[in-house]
Amino acid sequence: MAKLKCAWFDFTCCEGCQVELTNYGEPFLTLMEFIEPVEFREIMTEKTTEKIDIAFIEGSFSRESDRKRLEEIRSRANIVIAYGSCAVTGGINALKNHQNMNDYKEIVYGKDKDMPHLDSQLAKPISAAIKVDFEIPGCPIDKDEFLRIVSQVIHGSTPTLPKYPVCVECKLRETVCRYDEGDYCLGVIAKAGCNSPCPAHGIPCEACRGFCDEPNQEALVELLKERGPYGKRWAEEKSRMFTANLRKDAK
């Protein structure tokens, strides 16, 4: 089997998901038997304008000026995989979307806020600009899930993601519910597939992978008001952290 030509591209993000890919240790060399990296700016100087088999895109679409570059990647990629929450849902970048843009530009840059290079718009997923074939959610991605999905693509099967919430995985791991510890948790509406590391580490699930299928957003707010520790205003705002673009009030 010929090696698949793979290229990595990053937009508005922290580049932490690509860092995760450096953490495999020696098994990384096994992956290299199946793929040939042809472009990866953070670790390669080599670049290509040729056709590519798989384009991995990290980061949000947050500047209209990035649309052309995304379309160019799409035009020469056989398969586009958005990986990491920023690329899949807009991720944490979308946490600012509900605020007035002029306000936050002024907060950050003061009197210089209108300089043209500071242009920014709503943070959106990559799929808001181009067609995306597969998605690998998570902030950061789970590197084992990345391997599974890439392996399925390499071998011609269709990767799927769980439709059920993170709560299911906590039950399977026998993790004590955060609510029983006096904490809150968004696991009730969060897309599973990560094997719920956060509650197992003693912190709430923040739904970094987005919502599960048919999330009951109203019930979440009621649950947070009733059993969450920080009050009504917080309960209503809570799920913006990673799912601002999936909420019913998304811009």
Residues that bind other proteins (CB under 8 A): 11-20, 22-26, 28-29, 32, 37, 40-47, 62-63, 66, 69, 91-93, 95-96, 99, 103-110, 112, 115, 117-118, 120, 123, 139-140, 197-198, 201-203, 206, 230-231, 234, 237, 241
Q: Which is nearer to other proteins, 40 or 211 (CB)?
A: 40
- Give the shortest CB-215-to-other proteins separation in angstroms: 20
Other Cβ atoms within 10 Å of 89 Cβ, number: 32
First and final C-alpha spacing in the chain:
45
Q: What is the DSSP letter of 3?
A: P
Alpha carbon distance 143, 162 (integer Å): 16
- Give the shortest CB-211-to-other proteins separation in angstroms: 18
Q: Which is nearer to other proteins, 140 or 210 (CB)?
A: 140
CA dihedral 212, 216, 217, 220 (to 10 degrees): -100
- Give the shortest CB-27-to-other proteins separation in angstroms: 9
Supply φ then ψ for residue 36, to 5 degrees: -120, 110
Q: Which amino acid does the sequence have at 13? A: C
Instruction: Give the residue among 40, 96, 83, 98 at the shortest CA–CA distance from 249.
Output: 98
- Give the shortest CB-198-to-other proteins separation in angstroms: 5
Q: Which is nearer to other proteins, 49 or 158 (CB)?
A: 49
- Give the shortest CB-46-to-other proteins separation in angstroms: 5
Alpha carbon distance 210, 189 (integer Å): 8
Q: Which is nearer to other proteins, 12 or 89 (CB)?
A: 12
Q: What are 8's two structure tokens?
A: 């990595």
Q: Which is nearer to other proteins, 111 or 248 (CB)?
A: 111
Alpha carbon distance 59, 214 (integer Å): 25
